[in-house]
Amino acid sequence: MQFLELFSDYWLAMLLAAVLAYALGSVNSAIIISGIAKKRDIRKYGSGNAGATNVMRTFGAGLGAVTFICDVLKGAAAAGLAYLLAGILVPGGDGAWEVAYLGTLCGVLGHMFPVFFAFRGGKGVSTALGALLVLDWRMALCCLAVFIIAVILTRMVSVGSVAAAVSVPIFTFIFNRFVSASPDRLTVCGTVLMAVMVLIVIIRHGENIKRIIKGTESRLSFGGGKTNKNTQ
């Protein structure tokens, strides 16, 4: 009986965390900030992506930075809220980190496909970073390092984003299995959920990947030169 009650509470926490994290992720910072500051819908400008990079290229570094920070905080809130919710609903907080991983996935999905904005959002990289900082800040910094190195080597933000995304389930497995010595259930659950998230992130970068293959993807100019606005 006690097991059945625990099982029921666990799935209730999963369901509520998924819904709340998705709703939170759907509060798209790029669309809201560009609408308030410029009275424009960022999805009609630049690359058409509702993310920090397009805001920066279209409306300037200041608004881009604000958007990035909001997206990171939103991701952190999605994962953190899911974890706290599980801690409240499930006796002893059993499975709270698994629920946090689900909150991460749903928060990123909300950012990509926001219910409040006709399901047309961003690509989820900044939101994922914020969630990873809650799940394990060391893992988040490793993924961020992959992003920075890839961008420096290729001068393409899209390559950095895809490379960092691919590294997420890898570092999730490594840190849970070998660093934190997490239970097998958490290791498997976290790795699988992050792999699903990465697959969707890569699909969202499909046009970028096509341009990378063709050699037409725009590159950053560290020397201050211009780049086209066809990336993120």
- Taking 80 as the threshold, does the pLDDT of residue 221 lie above it? no
Q: Is 227 a residue whose pLDDT tops 70?
A: no
What's the confidence (pLDDT) of residue 94? 74
Confidence band of 175 (pLDDT split at 50, 70, 90): very high
CA distance 8 to 115: 28
d(CA 225, CA 195): 36
**pLDDT score for 36:** 95
- In tens, the pLDDT along 56-109 reads 989 999 999 999 999 999 999 999 999 999 888 887 677 899 999 999 999 999
Mean pLDDT in the chain?
90
Predicted TM-score of the model (pTM):
0.89
Closest C-alpha to 95, from 209, 182, 199, 219: 182
Say if CB 89 and CB 126 are below 8 A apart.
no
